[in-house]
Amino acid sequence: MLTPKLKWSVSDKPTGRYRSFERRVWPTACFQSKGVHGFDEPGAQILCEDEYRPSDVKAGNHGPLTVMVVDHSHKPVWAWRTLSKRCATLAEAKALVDAFYAQHPEWLPVTPVTTPPEEGNQQNVTKVPLT
């Protein structure tokens, strides 16, 4: 089974007049494949009590990281689930997410399967596997 790839992103650095009141959040990930709903499905997020600062991440000057993954098997909509293991580094947290989804493929989002067009029909037909 081909697993969708996670794309990690970080929020923009706070700017403007009230930037001292804003807090930069830790990285989040979305699955790059368009899901059933036609947009990138959420995949994971990393949380920490400390603000995200790249210099602190590089030096390891931050508290323990909490990893949350998305349970796409939860119906009717997905749900956030917190993993019990805490991570010391950002790389360790990202590796934990990859390992988790490799062990639990049932939590991955359902991706549409495109079939070739039928005779007389010029449009592709999208079949969504039922679970």
**Does residue 60 fall inside a structural domain?**
yes
Q: Which long-range contacts (CB under 8 A, 24 or more apart) does 46-49 make?
A: 46/87, 46/90, 46/93, 46/94
Give the pLDDT of residue 3.
65
Q: How much of the chain exceeds pLDDT 70, in percent?
A: 76
Domain of residue 114 covers 6-127
Task: Indicate whether 103 belongs to any domain.
Answer: yes
CA 18 – CA 69 distance, rounded (Å):
31
Q: How many domains does the chain have?
A: 1
Query: Do the Cβ atoms of 61 and 83 come closer than 8 Å?
Result: no
pLDDT at 45: 95
19 pLDDT higher than 70: yes
Tokens 């804003």 identify what position? Answer: 22
Instruction: Tell me whether residue 1 is in a domain.
Output: no
Task: Say what the pTM is.
Answer: 0.74
Residue 89, domain member (yes or no): yes
Which of helix, strand or coil describes residue 131? coil
Q: What is the pLDDT of residue 48?
A: 95
Q: Give the pLDDT confidence of 90-109 residue by residue, as tens digits.
A: 999 999 999 999 999 888 88
Confirm whether 17 is domain-assigned. yes
Q: Is residue 16 part of a domain?
A: yes
